[in-house]
Amino acid sequence: MSIRNHNGTTGGGGRVRTATLGMACAVLAIASGAQASTFQVNPVVLEVPAGGHNAAFTIRNNDGNPVSVQIRLFRWTQREGEDVYDKTDDLIASPPIVTIPAAGAQLVRVGPRSGALSGAYRVILEEILPPASGKSQVRIALRLNLPLYVMAARGTTAPLRWSGSRDATGTIVLQGENPGTLYQTVVGIDAADTARKDVSLTTHFAAILPGSSKRWNVGKHPELAVGVPLTLAVRGSDGVVTRSPVTLVQR
């Protein structure tokens, strides 16, 4: 089964309370209060070197009560500019379910069932809520979404290729293509028109996988005309800004 991820939680993972697989994070009852566990993961970006056998991360429970977490694993690809998660048996998490005592920690390893890994994956950590106490409350299950990249043996970074269009609704769609063999991250995109007037388009964090593309819907921005050359200023997570010429076309 394939799951398309439309909310864009694809980059460095981290602590998120938004749904990642199109599923809600909150388990709702008649609300007069709210409860939420607090756990953290380090690191939040997992990289396996070429020829490496596994990745490891630590879950720390900052809550005053034990917390149980299930680890789910997905193959991660990008199709038609969107992130797609597919269930996979390529990986195994050890342990796949953990219960961490208050103020405790647990090391988790993720590795192949057999052979070598390649490509990219998502490691989804989902809190398993304990039985309700009987009090009316909103109960929030924390879900974390971590990227796992298997690095190429001879990885190279190539300049991203950018294109832009305005669709029938007037929305500008930007697409970045990654022709290299290493993933690249984008944390913000600005545009400058021929009058050199800067326009902030997005600060959405996203990754572009090798040989893949990623799309950004950045709003209408009527001040950016179709057919007029623009210069995109694309900020990476390393702080480097690259500039690329783009001319919007009408779709």
Predicted confidence (pLDDT) per residue in 173-213, tens digit: 999 999 999 999 999 999 987 777 789 999 999 999 999 99
Question: Matching CATH topology for 2-150 and 161-250?
Answer: yes
| Three-state secondary structure call for residue 21 | coil
Is residue 242 within 8 Å of residue 236, measured between CB atoms?
A: yes
Q: Is 236 exposed, middle or buried (0-12, 13-18, 19+ CB in 10 A)?
A: middle
User: Peptide bond preceding 101: is omega within 30 degrees of 0, i.e. cis?
Assistant: no
Domain boundary assignment for the chain? 2-150, 161-250
The pair of three-digit structure tokens given for residue 195, joined into one six-digit string:
């009058």
Residue-averaged pLDDT of the chain = 85
pLDDT at 27 over 90: no
Domain covering 161-250 assigned CATH 2.40.128.20 in the classification: no
Q: How confident is the model at residue 2 (pLDDT cuts 50, 70, 90)?
A: low
Q: How confident is the model at residue 132 (pLDDT cuts 50, 70, 90)?
A: confident
pLDDT number for residue 197: 77
pLDDT number for residue 37: 62
**Residue 198: DSSP 8-state:** E
pLDDT at 123 over 50: yes
Q: How far apart are CA 100 and CA 2, in angstroms?
A: 31
Give the largest Cα separation in the chain, rounded: 63
pLDDT at 163 over 70: yes
In the sheet that 229-235 helps form, which strands lie side by side, from edge to edge?
198-202, 188-192, 229-235, 241-247
The mean per-residue pLDDT over the stretch 122-135 comes to 86
CATH superfamily of 2-150: Immunoglobulins (2.60.40.10)
Is residue 199 within 8 Å of residue 193, measured between CB atoms?
A: yes
The mean per-residue pLDDT over the stretch 41-47 comes to 96
Is residue 216 within 8 Å of residue 166, measured between CB atoms?
A: no
